Amino acid sequence: MSAAVHDNLAWRSAQPALSVLIPFLRDDPEALIGLLDREAPTLKGAAELILLDDGTNDSDLTARLTARIEDSALPIRLITLANNEGRSVGRNRLAASARGSSLLFLDSDMRPDHERFLKTWADLAATGETAVAFGGFSLLQAPHDARFAVHRSMATRSDCIPHDQRALQPEKYVFTSNLLVRRDVFEAEAFDPGFSGWGWEDVEWAMRVSRRFKVEHIDNPATHMGLDTVESLAAKYEQSAPNFARVVARHPDFVAAYPSYRVARRLKRVPGLKAFRPLFKQAARLPLLPVALRAFSLRLYRVALYAEAI
């Protein structure tokens, strides 16, 4: 697929050790660019940014980002696609454009939680010793709107986990929102383009990688700003069910330890599950119920979807 490529002046002479790869679709990464660009003086060309617009088709956004990139001190490349390629294919395309010996996959809706975020990753990349490392999630800067309360509750419990606890199941807590990968590791194990929609392609990748390389967890978090409403989150879970089944088929040894899989296996034996599954989503949508109960109901909805998929 053809792509429009725009490089800023700093790109041409840079020799980075770290390539920061930022895919986006209908999002505006300008704020993230600005936050990362503040670290340029301390990085001294050690990091580059590569952004992939995966089919947004917004000429105003492209023009604004191009102007922002021209004003940036960091070396930056913007790749603009006319058609959407998908999460796995897009990240593989980003990696193919990278010049660094290590790749940092960073989602466009992430915000660094401290002013040495990129420097921490660049220093780690410079050693060349780390195969894979995940820096962690937080919700420190995320909105507190009531419509996001259920997602905030669920993410606090399942995503915002200290690095020492994540390290107990290293492959399970790997997400491409804040993930460092050494180039040779990615060349050995790329993302599977067979995954479609949302969910599980990063965890499945980590399962494959962890069989050959060490997966580390460090304390270098960024805030996930993109909290979802119940409706949006439920739609993502619906997309993720076939991906979950793909993971189960490929890595039964890993998923056997996951609570979501064990519960899904039990629910699969429940008569009439498909008929009353919508009730779980309906309960999660009711603002009069306690947030914890709504979050529990949405988790049940997700597991019920998985039960039908496996």
Edge-first strand order for the sheet with 222-224 is 110-112, 222-224, 137-138
Q: What is the reported pLDDT for 1?
A: 57
Strand, helix or coil for residue 286? coil
CA distance 272 to 297: 17
Q: Which CATH class is domain 3-227?
A: alpha beta
- Helix, strand, coil distribution of the chain in percent, nearest 5: 50, 15, 35
Q: Write the pLDDT tens digit of every residue in 157-194.
A: 999 999 999 999 999 999 989 999 999 999 999 888 88
Residue 131 has pLDDT above 80, yes or no: yes
Residue 132 has pLDDT above 80, yes or no: yes
CA distance 309 to 266: 13
Is residue 144 within 8 A of residue 216, CB to CB? The reply is: no
Residue ranges per domain, the chain? 3-227, 228-310
